[in-house]
Amino acid sequence: MSTPTRSTAVTRSRRAAGKILPEHARAHNRALVLQSLFSEGAMSRADLARETGLTRVTISDLVGSLMEDGYVVEQGVREASGPGKPAILVDIARDGHRIAGLDLSGSESFLGAVLTLDGEIVARHSVPVPAGQSDVLGAILALARTVVADAHAPVLGLGVGTPGVVDDRGVVVAAPGFGWEDLDLAGALEAEVGLPVLVANDANAAVLAEHTFGGAGDDVILVRVGRGVGAGLLTGGEPLAGARFAAGEIGHVTVGTDGGPACACGKIGCLEAWLAVPALSERLAATDDPDSVLRDAGERLGIALAPIVGALDLSEIALSGPADLLGGALAEAAADTVRTRTLATFHDGLQVRMSTHSEDIVLRGAAVMVLSGRLGVS
């Protein structure tokens, strides 16, 4: 009799059971208040009660606690519009804290920045990407120290966008370009700077920035095109990580049945081999018909995205990368291909556009990661 083999299927997480603990309810209510202020700006305590559905007594208690913690400040009284005492306005202490962010996705430089709670960059730093993989982590730790030291205000946390597959603990499961496997990047950075650290794949960080600061809807895919190709996904406003934290790794999906260029991974016809900036630029330099090359690349992108759009019912595709390559003919071809390959009733209105924050999108996404992880705000 043969011995049964253990299944390798991904296990399902159990739904939480039991009552919500008071401390969890309080944390949820604090996040409600902070989210309302973050999104709407200064409000009175009565406004907050109406906005959140919490009682005025609860709001008064929460605002007092948040003021003691330095996250909320009073901003004077509202201009009187009738009889009675003018209401005192409160808001997030937007200048009371800073956020440190790192973008490790560049081919030539690692970028660092100090950001406000509104995602505005107030200081920038960079270091060259080391030639040797053994020197990469040291360069990142040094950049993090420099950025944090330049904050000149209490730092809420450090957010990091990096190439590779990153789990929910901030461990880089795999980043071949850096030679990393199961590297606890969050742990290394926390030990270096003494702050809470949140780490995500750079495309996953970017889609958070597009949602919070760029006006994207709740069901969106953001495709980042640089030396590689990757994507970040939001469904229902929540990040989609996948069973193995590899959702959005579309660069090595083969597109088409006509072969194509060889990819660095060893396969033929991967999306990255068609669309990555170095490969696309090389083909453009060798042609007299650049629109044809761009349309072809856009069609390949559309082939990769159509089943994702159809399966997840996405309403929006944002492209992040060089606008002279991705805008125009390429974006139009991608949109036409997706619409052709999906149900017209639902996806005729699909929006394909360039990101509004391409240059600093990963740094801003790092800020959103910290806001969400530390304050429950996004």
Q: Kindly report the average pLDDT of the chain as a whole number.
A: 90
* 133 CB-near residues (< 8 Å, 6+ apart): 178, 179
**Is residue 57 predicted with pLDDT exceeding 90?**
yes
Task: Tell me the mean pLDDT in the region 96-111.
Answer: 94
Q: How far apart are CA 73 and CA 315, in angstroms?
A: 38
Query: 10 Å Cβ neighbour count for 192?
Result: 17
pLDDT more than 90, % of the chain: 79
Query: 10 Å Cβ neighbour count for 364?
Result: 30
Taking alpha carbons only, the member of 321, 243, 276, 260 closest to residue 177 is 276
pLDDT of 357: 78
**Distance set, CA 13 to CA 16, 234, 237, 239, 243 (Å):** 9, 20, 21, 17, 11
Annotate 225-258 with three-state secondary structure: ECCCEEEEEEECCEECCCCCCCCCCCCCCECCCC
In a domain, 11, yes or no: no
User: Are 67 and 160 in the same domain?
Assistant: no
Query: 10 Å Cβ neighbour count for 177?
Result: 17
Q: How far apart are CA 130 and CA 114, in angstroms?
A: 22
Q: How far apart are CA 239 and CA 28, in angstroms?
A: 19
pLDDT of 1: 44
User: Are 220 and 191 in the same domain?
Assistant: no
User: Are 304 and 367 in the same domain?
Assistant: no
How wide is the angle at C-alpha 291 spanned by C-alphas 288 and 296, nearest 5°? 110
**Is residue 320 predicted with pLDDT exceeding 70?**
yes
Q: How far apart are CA 177 and CA 167, in angstroms?
A: 17
In a domain, 133, yes or no: yes
Of 77, 92, 107, the residue that ends a domain is: 92
In a domain, 6, yes or no: no
Residue 107 in tokens: 């081919």
Q: Which residue is associated with the tokens 């919070």?
A: 212
User: Are 227 and 335 in the same domain?
Assistant: yes
pLDDT of 8: 40
**Is residue 297 predicted with pLDDT exceeding 80?**
yes
CATH number for the domain harbouring residue 154: 3.30.420.40
pLDDT of 258: 86
Q: How far apart are CA 312 and CA 337, in angstroms?
A: 17
**Is residue 252 predicted with pLDDT exceeding 80?**
yes
User: What range does the domain containing 137 cover?
Assistant: 98-207+361-375
pLDDT of 354: 94
Of 46, 76, 92, the residue that ends a domain is: 92
**Distance set, CA 199 to CA 24, 52, 63, 206 (Å):** 24, 30, 30, 12
User: Are 134 and 247 in the same domain?
Assistant: no
Residue 272 in tokens: 């990255």
User: Are 242 and 157 in the same domain?
Assistant: no
**Is residue 71 predicted with pLDDT exceeding 50?**
yes
Of 7-21, 266-280, 325-339, 355-369, the poorest mean pLDDT is in 7-21
**Is residue 9 predicted with pLDDT exceeding 50?**
no
pLDDT of 59: 95
| Digit-coded pLDDT (tens) for 153-207 | 999 999 999 999 999 999 999 998 899 999 999 999 999 999 999 999 999 999 9
User: Are 348 and 222 in the same domain?
Assistant: yes
CATH number for the domain harbouring residue 49: 1.10.10.10
**Is residue 120 predicted with pLDDT exceeding 70?**
yes
Q: How far apart are CA 114 and CA 150, in angstroms?
A: 7
pLDDT of 257: 79
User: Are 185 and 220 in the same domain?
Assistant: no
Integer-rounded Cα radius of gyration of the chain: 23
pLDDT of 83: 67
pLDDT of 203: 95
In a domain, 191, yes or no: yes
How wide is the angle at C-alpha 210 spanned by C-alphas 237 and 330, nearest 5°? 115
Q: Are 74 and 92 in contact (CB under 8 A)?
A: no
Of 82-86, 192-196, 342-346, the poorest mean pLDDT is in 82-86
User: Are 227 and 347 in the same domain?
Assistant: yes
pLDDT of 21: 64
pLDDT of 76: 86
Of 49, 68, 92, the residue that ends a domain is: 92
In a domain, 17, yes or no: no
pLDDT of 299: 96
Query: 10 Å Cβ neighbour count for 323?
Result: 13
Taking alpha carbons only, the member of 101, 93, 97, 96 closest to residue 34 is 93
Task: Tell me the mean pLDDT in the region 69-78.
Answer: 90
Residue 236 in tokens: 């229902």
User: Are 137 and 162 in the same domain?
Assistant: yes
| Digit-coded pLDDT (tens) for 106-116 | 888 999 999 99
Task: Tell me the mean pLDDT in the region 128-151.
Answer: 96
DSSP 261: P
In a domain, 230, yes or no: yes
pLDDT of 345: 76
In a domain, 316, yes or no: yes
**Distance set, CA 340 to CA 309, 333, 343, 347 (Å):** 12, 10, 8, 9
User: Are 192 and 240 in the same domain?
Assistant: no
| Digit-coded pLDDT (tens) for 206-237 | 999 999 998 899 999 999 998 889 999 999 99
Q: Identify the band that residue 3 occupies on the pLDDT scale cut at 50, 70 and 90.
A: very low
User: Are 222 and 344 in the same domain?
Assistant: yes
Q: Are 48 and 32 in contact (CB under 8 A)?
A: no
**Is residue 12 predicted with pLDDT exceeding 50?**
no
**Is residue 13 predicted with pLDDT exceeding 80?**
no
Q: Identify the band that residue 22 occupies on the pLDDT scale cut at 50, 70 and 90.
A: low
pLDDT of 82: 61
pLDDT of 20: 52
Q: Are 151 and 130 in contact (CB under 8 A)?
A: no
- Looking at the structure of the chain, the number of domains it has is 3
Q: How far apart are CA 285 and CA 293, in angstroms?
A: 10
In a domain, 109, yes or no: yes
**Cross-strand partners of 172:** 166, 183
